[in-house]
Amino acid sequence: MDAQRALLDELMGSARNLTEEERKGYKEITWDDKEVCGAYMIRFCPHDLFVNTRSDLGPCPRIHDQKLKESFEKSPRHDTYVPKFEAELAQFCEKLVMDLDRRVRRGRERLSQEVEPAPPPPLSAEKSEQLSVLEEKIKNLLEQVETLGEAGKVDEAEALMRKVDALNNEKAVLTQQSQNDKVLMLAQEKKMALCEICGSFLVANDAAERTQSHITGKQHIGYGMVRDFIDEYKTAKEKAREEERLAKEKEAEERRKQREKEHESRRRSGSSDRDRYRDRDRERDRDRYRERDYDRDRSRDWNGRGRREGGRGVDWRFRNGRDGGRDRHSDRSRSRSPVRHGHRRSP
């Protein structure tokens, strides 16, 4: 019947039997609602661990539903919500452990303040009186034995010694009973111990069955699960922080290498430009040297031609260089003179 009801709920919804009026105020519960217990869906709910124990937390105020848990596990947002639910569960568990550790500290203080067991009480008045009477009889008999021995009455002295031995046996029995009572009282004084996991008081060196019963109990197992989860959660957080730190260091190292690479590239580019400018300057110097050599060679050619022509070359160059310059100067002067060109300035 339950299986059929669950199948119908899955196919038609849990509100399939509600009337139209009831459907107006009905809200379909999903796994991401605040009313649903996230701790139950990811690991365990602490309220389920200590039922009917001294540490019972009572019923959980949120919804525990297996179908919602399965829906959460199949949801594409599962990995997104797991860290949130784990953080909430870790916070709740840490509060439980803090309260438990306070109880454990108080238990340690209580055990440390325990004093040694009181000495056994003295013998009762009846037994003390019996011992006194026995000791008095033994003393009198010994005096009689001594007197009979001095008188030479050996047989009578031996008979009294047998009575002394019997009285000593009775005295030993009374003394042994008091010793047995002391041992029994010491055996009844049991030394207590404290469980560091759940804070329960145990009897030290107790029977193995009782110790095993405690270890398999709900309270011990429940607090063990809580402590294990906290340790696991803290380890995972520490690992995540370490991985994040290493990732940041790796990213910083990559940025540093990139900056060095860019700096080296700019340095090489600047060196290439300087080499290019240096080559261009060298090319200009070579061109300048070539023009100078060309002018020098041409000058030599003119000098050689003038010597072959009887000096005309020198006179011609001199004439062109000095007279020709004067003629050009005079032409410029004539062209600039307004009088010579018939333009006279008005007074």
Please report which confidence band the pLDDT of residue 95 belongs to, taking 50, 70 and 90 as the band edges.
very high
Give the pLDDT score at 16. 58
The pLDDT mean for the chain works out to 75
Count of CB atoms within 10 A of residue 39's CB? Answer: 22
Q: How far is CA 155 from CA 152, 159, 174, in A?
A: 9, 6, 30
In the three-class reduction of DSSP (H, G, I as helix; E, B as strand; rest coil), residue 202 is classed as strand
User: What integer pLDDT is reported at residue 304 of this predicted model?
Assistant: 60
Within a 13 Å sphere around the CA of 19, how many CA atoms are in the beta-carbon half?
Answer: 2
- For residues 321 and 327, the answer to whether their CB atoms sit within 8 Å is no
Which of 67-76, 149-158, 281-290, 302-311 shows the lowest per-residue confidence on average (mean pLDDT)? 302-311
- Considering the entire predicted model, what is its pTM? 0.52
Give residue-wise pLDDT tens across range 7-49.
555 555 555 566 666 655 667 789 999 999 999 999 999 999 9
pLDDT of 128 = 72
More confident site: 282 or 117: 282
Cα–Cα distance between 55 and 48 in angstroms, integer?
11
Q: Would you state the pLDDT for residue 203?
A: 78
In the chain, % helix, strand, coil (3-state, to 5) comes to 75, 0, 25
Say which amino acid occupies 125.
Answer: A
Q: Which residues contact 306 (CB under 8 A, 6 or more apart)?
A: 312, 313, 314, 316, 317
pLDDT of residue 5: 59
Give the tokens for residue 204.
């030290």
Residues whose CB falls within 8 Å of the CB of residue 10, separated by 6 or more in sequence, listed in order = 67
Contacts of 11 (CB under 8 A, 6+ apart): none
Smallest CA-to-CA distance from 321 within 342, 299, 339, 337 is with 299
Q: What is the mean pLDDT of residues 220-248?
A: 94
The Cα 3–Cα 9 span in angstroms is: 10
- Whole-angstrom Cα distance, residue 30 to residue 43? 18
Given a cut of 80, whether residue 269 has pLDDT beyond it is no
Q: Which residue has the higher pLDDT, 165 or 342?
A: 165
3-state class of 205 per DSSP?
coil
Of 168, 111, 112, nearest to 135 by C-alpha is 168
Mean pLDDT of 293-306: 65
Tell me what the mean pLDDT of segment 79-99 comes to. 94
Q: Kindly state the average pLDDT of the residues 192-205.
A: 84
pLDDT of residue 207: 77
Q: How confident is the model at residue 329 (pLDDT cuts 50, 70, 90)?
A: very low
Using alpha carbons, list the distances in angstroms from residue 339 to 84, 198, 327, 331, 332.
109, 132, 19, 14, 14
Residue 302 has pLDDT above 70, yes or no: no
State the maximum Cα–Cα separation within the chain, in Å, rounded to a whole number. 204
* Cα separation, 190 vs 117, whole angstroms: 10
298/289 Cα distance (integer angstroms): 14
CA atoms within 13 A on the CB side of 96: 27
